[in-house]
Structure 1
Amino acid sequence: MENQFSKKYTNLSALLKGYRKHGKCLAAFNVNDNYDLKAAVDAANQQDTHLMVMTYPPVAELVGVEVFAAMVEGVRKKAKHNVYLHLDHSTSIELCKAAVDAGYDSVMFDGSHLPLEQNIASTKEVVAYAHKKGVVVEAEIGKILGREVVVKSDDDFLASVEQVARLNEEAKPDLIAVGIGTAHGFTPEVPKINFKRLSEIAAVVETPLVLHGGTGIPDEDIQKAISMGICKINIGTVVHTTYMKYMGEGIQAAGKSAYPPFIMKEVLPKIQAVIEDRLRVVNSAEISG
């Protein structure tokens, strides 16, 4: 099936639109360095699928967008399908532009914390810059819970249908991340997706929609969301916590003889297994060819 989509859709924007039409979804994983990047590509090869890897701003700033883009270009040589590079949750217009210039395939400007008018204006600026170089732009509206996000009521965090429509029409992003009840990271309670709100949003915009906070969402909810218009899902916490857990155990066991390649040789299969598991869940949601 991926070979069919690879031939039919020649760029990321077209691929995502095709995914929206056919009830498919692109799994996107936050990675931090060459090690978990390799694990992600190996997992995608095993699952015979496209892959998106993402850099969170602290990673993009520490490693450098140019360096990360070069690393992704390197691993693409061993990938069976497309590997897309995305800047995740940037609140900086300048960082978005730097990622565009470095060769990222897509960037996210997160203006969800801004008043609507400012979110639209800032997203529009990023879209204008990115589209000149064929780069996809993701916008966000509503709040993704977790990471100290405080909400007072459903209306305080759920994406407004009217505001999603305005952001879509005026800023013209390629993707829209919508706040529908999910949360970043591991949460004390299972996230409760507001499928009614997702249905309302999907009914008024044809733009591919994004679901954040993929770590804690039950498999059946992921698949239901994909069937309702979610075309990209972000998964991060389960990747880096697996990385840190097994790396820490390896360092402790090795003691003074700890050496990164020896330890990471044992850690990479653990990371790969987690990513493969999420890829299986996302890809099994396909509802039509």
Structure 2
Amino acid sequence: MKQGELITLLNTYRKEQKCIIGFNINDIYDLQAVALAADEANCPVMAMTYPPVVELNSSFLCKKMVEGIQAKTKQPIYLHLDHSTSVDMCKQAIDDGYHSVMIDGSQKSLKENIAMTKEVVRYAESAGVLVEAEIGKIMGRDVVVKSDKDFLASVEDVRAIVEEANPHIMAVGIGTAHGFTPKAPKIHFDRLSEIAEAISVPLVLHGGTGIPDADIQRSIKIGVAKLNVGTIVHTTYMKELYNAIGKDVNSAYPPYLMKDVIPTIKDVVLDRLNAVNFVPANL
């Protein structure tokens, strides 16, 4: 892949009202499922590694894993570091060949967030690596939210971090949540529209597992060019593997079990890819 290729792609996607999906992966098996779905849907994808996955395996090994799968697939698989709160982890991922990194300073002050983002952007520049930043809060994962004002991204704050730190894409808190939710999240489309009018960089929607298809499409039309999906992937993985092991735990053997588990994960990934590529008539 060419230097800066993903940056160009996301900018083009925002202009053309298209969206790439980043899927959180944990190992070679769910990565295979993502790659198979991408080829079937005929679209590029992002394979995202959450910090615990990187801490366990190293960003170097994660990159080699994607390189191995990419050699067998037709569609581009862009490797992304998701929700890293560590500048050093971002730098190591860049050194190890990641195409994209997220520096998440959303729990810090605006000043600290800008400083962290600026440092990662500067480090990534020569490698042509895309940098994602975040303003506001994505609910779930023990994130404490006291009111709408507490999690909604401020237009002024978004403009400030983009102008001062120059991230390539922005994740913004607009009401979505990580993981499964009791009911569909209330997305504040008015705030999303205000942010989209204030900045030209592509926007990122986190919490893709629980967002209705129509809301995803509406967000894409406003300026979202990247959607994150994680929980539905690893939950399907764990449930299917658990059921497969339970049939005969004494004879359970990974190569045979995963032949049945991978296609089920692939179907879930393909469903989300179809949600992005399908445009309802009323929108």
1:147 counterpart SS class: coil
TM-score, normalised by the number of residues in structure 1: 0.95
- 8 Å CA contact retained: 1:85, 1:104: yes
| Letter matched to residue 186 of structure 1 | F
Does 2:199 align with 1:209?
no
In the alignment, which of 141, 147, 160 is matched to residue 141 of structure 2? Answer: 147
Does 2:88 align with 1:119?
no
| Letter matched to residue 88 of structure 2 | E
Q: Distance in 1 between matches of 2:264 and 2:216?
A: 22
Q: Deviations over 1:259-278 (max 9, x none)?
A: 00111111001000000000
Deviation at 1:255, TM superposition (A): 1.6
| Letter matched to residue 234 of structure 2 | H
Percent of aligned pairs sharing the same letter: 58
2:248 counterpart SS class: helix
Matches within 5 A, 1:1-289: 11-285=5-279
| Letter matched to residue 214 of structure 2 | E
Deviation at 1:284, TM superposition (A): 2.1
2:133 counterpart SS class: strand
> Which structure 1 residue ranges, 5 or more long, are not aligned?
1-5
Number of residue-to-residue matches in the alignment: 281
| Letter matched to residue 112 of structure 2 | Q
- 8 Å CA contact retained: 2:87, 2:103: yes
Q: Distance in 2 between matches of 1:219 and 1:240?
A: 20
Deviation at 1:189, TM superposition (A): 2.1
1:107 counterpart SS class: strand
- 8 Å CA contact retained: 1:24, 1:285: no
Q: Deviations over 1:36-65 (max 9, x none)?
A: 000000000001110110000000110111
**Relative to structure 1, is the Cα distance of residues 94 and 132 closer, same or farther in structure 2, using a 3 angstrom cutoff?**
same
Q: Distance in 2 between matches of 1:191 and 1:225?
A: 13
1:113 counterpart SS class: coil
Q: Distance in 2 between matches of 1:12 and 1:36?
A: 22
- 8 Å CA contact retained: 1:24, 1:286: no
TM-score, normalised by the number of residues in structure 2: 0.97
Deviation at 1:171, TM superposition (A): 0.4
Q: Deviations over 1:245-289 (max 9, x none)?
A: 0000011112200000111111001000000000011122499xx
> Which structure 2 residue ranges, 5 or more long, are not aligned?
none
- 8 Å CA contact retained: 1:23, 1:229: yes
**Relative to structure 1, is the Cα distance of residues 167 and 133 closer, same or farther in structure 2, using a 3 angstrom cutoff?**
same
CA RMSD of aligned residues (A): 1.6
**Relative to structure 1, is the Cα distance of residues 61 and 140 closer, same or farther in structure 2, using a 3 angstrom cutoff?**
same
**Relative to structure 1, is the Cα distance of residues 63 and 28 closer, same or farther in structure 2, using a 3 angstrom cutoff?**
same
Q: Deviations over 1:207-231 (max 9, x none)?
A: 0000000000001000100110000
Structure 1: 4+ residue segments shifted above 3 A: none
